[in-house]
Chains A and B, each alone.
Chain A
Amino acid sequence: MNQFFLQKGESKELEQFAHIIEFGIKKNNSFQFFAVDESINNCLRIYYVLEGKFEWTINDCDYILYPGDLVLIQPGCRFSRQSGVLDIGKLCWIFIELEKAKSPEGMMLGKWTSFPANEILTIGKIFRLCNTPVISRIKEAERILAGIRYELFYQQVGYVTRTNQLIDELLILLARKLTLHNNTHRDFPKSFLNLEQTLRQNLSHQWTVEEMAALVGLGTTTFTEKVKSYSGFTPLNYLITIRISEAIRLLKQNNLSVTDIALDVGFYSSQHFSTTFKKLTGSTPSEFRKKNISNEQD
């Protein structure tokens, strides 16, 4: 693909697309990739390597990128080129604006997208939880990017819809590839352990089965079946055992209030926490704490 550069507010090709901040293909020697600009702080930045070799530092990790590799930079991500290294090559990139986050958790897109809200939230979570910003050998992305370029430049009938569809398609592709990273069909116990660790790190989040399944890279039905046969629990019940275990640990430490513990371990209210806790242990969280402190004085 030839070099080009489109920018919101400057290029008439983007007039119909308030959510595309930048889109271009450039050789690195003709362009400054890391210009600091406040406006890109609320963007998904996607870079795709077409030629050559790039050495970048993303969230303090060093990556070497080759053609076919894609980098996904999310808001808040620290990102720079490695000092003293001369990158030589050609890149394609697109910056997509996110709606100002409605909840601290969720990624939201504008009205242009055809995703229903729950799907985009799930995709956002997968992006947020994936432990690598780099997806290797993702040739399909090149086809989609070329498609977006074609639509923008030739503006045939339906091009607005088609362009937005292609962006949706790109996001789906990325989310699927990222979950595939985690998906080792051969070794479910290992995937399960990874899932457990992710859940524990984000215990206050209101997990849905869809999100958990996506993290393991399985459909919801297969995921639920596998979790059931492996662990004996449904995914949500398994999650409750982790929440209560963590709550017990915190209750024994006696430096957080019961309400704080409830929220920390992912119950939406202290009432809900109390009921679930009592059903299982026979005492309310406060009673439980009292018993464990009175032991101390024995």
Chain B
Amino acid sequence: MNSEKKIFQMSKINYGNKDCVITIELGTNAVRVFAYNLTGNLIGSAKGAYPSFHPQADYSEQDPEQLFITMLYVLKNFLTEKVYAEKYRVVNICFSASMHSLVAIDKNGAPIGNAITWADNRAKQEANELKSNPIGKTIYEATGTPLHPMSPLVKIAWLKNKDKERFKKTYKFLSIKSYIIQQLTGEYVIDYSLASATGLFNIHKLKWDADALAYAGITAAKLPELVSVFHSAGKLRKEYQTSLGLSADTKIITGSSDGCMATLGAGVWGEEKATITIEDSGAMRVVGRKILKDEKQRFFNYVLTEDYYVSGGPTNSGGVIFEWFANQFGDFKYAYDIDNCIEELLNDASKVNAGSDGLLFLPYLLGERAPIWNANARGVYFGLNINHEKKHFVRATIEGILYEMYSIGKMLEERRNIKSLSVNGSLATIPFCSQIIADMFNKPVGISKNTSSVGLGAFLLSATDMGLYKNLDEAAKSVEFAETFKPNTQNHPVYKKHFEIFERLSTKFSEEFEAIANSQNKND
């Protein structure tokens, strides 16, 4: 970080050293609140979890009121116990949220039913129909969002077809973040960035896309107002000023999506860098002034600000796959819990050579998005011989998850000259995994000094808005790395050789994947 003095001189307004920025991340499993001082140092953080409900297979829902109350509760306690206790003053609050959520509200602003999350697959049929419809290609090219059940466009189409009453009663279709901000300030807004993940937003013209609206059967009036990520979403309602102890001057910044914030917070800015995030699921992203075009519609292209795009590919096969493995095959006799058990497994894996002595794993337990975009894909262990032991399976499972990321990376490298990587997320930042990523890509891998790239990204956005940085380029450059993993030149050729087989396997079985998925679905 730049020195404190320099920072304060740069801004036009005089800020004090007891001023701070709050960032609120509305994630998939929890809300996370961070406080940063104006030099970007973390003052403290707090989180509150909320569940996803699965009333039917393929459904994934959350209670919007619970999200709001959890956010409010965590924020209030955090402000009282940490921020005010240490005599800080809150200058602004910046939001980020997971993408693709959908909340239908009635004309009173009350949610009709639960929020539908990104992980919800109920609109499979609508997604497939749109893909085979010529308008689908036009919509993908205009909106940058892959045609997939995750996309709010496809979810609204599902409501139109399958839940007519809710569709008819809906006054507006919001994202979770829009709902929360509306509760706090009364404004119905969505930033370009989050809007660009809805499948309804034209990323070239920066407005709602006419074709997409027509397909969804709605008008722009049914959607929140489009605003920049820097937009100040009105004043905090009086009652929340009181309960949170904040003044009317506290600026509420709309902010962006968690994916875009993580990219900014990982210091990825400019053509030669990319970031890899692996939590439960994963993604590899690059930032640029141009979108990535792809005949096969494999990339997402999200708008960060008016002149920057975050592009890349998402995978289903992240930490959730390794957690599945640990639950099935980990030794729980001595392990205290899953984390402890995973530690033991990693220990086993480190005793095996790179490449797992020829055991390969296709990690498609949940079907796959990028790069193969095949919901029917299933997991495969391949190349098993009589000398393989349990520890080979452990390592092969981790390598399989990372080969999958590498295959997205190879796609990106066809279009960008990537020289270095930064990683974040619970799985990718395990040193054992970070090193394998470095070896596979044959590129240096950095881990950000900060515990949360999403939180830091939102801080950098706020700080830029306050004039502490000239622009986001400069803000991104301030990110420092705690640790860098250098590629091991002996391992890289081993991974390269195995990856060629992995890549061929991943596309070879499409007919068999379909057959087995059909037979599994019938047994449901």
Contacts and interface: CB of A to CB of B under 8 A. Distances in A.
Interface of A: 185-189, 192-193, 196-197, 230-233, 237, 240-242, 244-246, 248-249, 252-253, 278-283, 287-288, 291-293, 295-296
Nearest to B78: A232
A282 B30 contact: no
A245 B69 contact: yes
Given A282-B239, A282-B240, A245 B110 contact: no
A233 B237 CA distance: 26
A189 B48 CA distance: 13
Contact of B327 (A187, A248, A280, A282): A187
A161 to B, nearest CB: 39
B66 A245 contact: yes
Most chain A Cβ neighbours within 10 Å, of B46, B73, B107, B237: B73
B65 interface: yes
A193 B69 CA distance: 18
A245 to B, nearest CB: 4
A241 B30 CA distance: 13
Interface of B: 29-30, 46-49, 51, 53, 63, 65-66, 68-70, 72-74, 76, 107-111, 237-244, 327, 330, 332, 337-338, 341
Contact of B65 (A196, A246, A295, A296): A246
Most chain B Cβ neighbours within 10 Å, of A186, A196, A240, A288: A186
B108 A293 contact: yes
A186 B338 contact: yes
Please list the 5 inter-chain residue pairs (A to B) with the smallest Cβ-Cβ separation, ordered nearest first: A282-B239, A282-B243, A231-B49, A252-B110, A245-B66
A241 B109 contact: no
A contact face: mostly helix, strand, loop, or mixed: helix
A292 B110 CA distance: 8
B110 A241 contact: no
A232 B238 CA distance: 27
B108 A233 contact: no
A230 B244 CA distance: 24
Contacts of B74: 232
A219 B320 CA distance: 28
A233 B48 contact: yes
Contact of A248 (B29, B48, B65, B338): B65
Most chain A Cβ neighbours within 10 Å, of B63, B65, B72, B244: B65
Given A280-B76, A281-B72, A242 B66 contact: yes
A187 B338 contact: yes
Contacts of A246: 65
A241 B69 contact: yes
Contacts of A292: 108-110
A280 B49 contact: no
29 contacts: A186-B327, A186-B330, A186-B341, A189-B29, A193-B53, A196-B51, A197-B53, A232-B30, A232-B47, A232-B48, A233-B48, A233-B49, A240-B73, A241-B66, A242-B66, A244-B69, A245-B63, A245-B66, A248-B68, A279-B243, A280-B69, A280-B243, A281-B72, A281-B240, A281-B243, A282-B244, A293-B108, A295-B109, A296-B108
Nearest to A188: B337
Contacts of A279: 243
B107 A296 contact: yes
Given A245-B66, A283-B239, A292-B110, 10 more contacts: A186-B338, A192-B49, A193-B53, A232-B46, A244-B69, A249-B63, A253-B110, A280-B72, A280-B243, A291-B239
Contacts of A230: 49
Given A282-B238, A292-B109, A296-B108, A232 B332 contact: no
Nearest to A253: B110
Nearest to B245: A282
B108 A241 contact: no
Contacts of A288: 239
A196 B29 CA distance: 14
A253 B72 CA distance: 21
A282 B242 contact: yes
Contact of B108 (A197, A237, A252, A278): A252
Contacts of B237: 282
Nearest to B76: A280
A185 B46 contact: no
Contacts of A296: 107-108
A257 B241 CA distance: 27
Contacts of B332: 185-186
A119 B390 CA distance: 45
A241 B337 contact: no
A275 to B, nearest CB: 12
Nearest to B341: A186
B439 to A, nearest CB: 31
B248 to A, nearest CB: 13
Contacts of B53: 193, 197
B107 A237 contact: no
Nearest to A288: B239
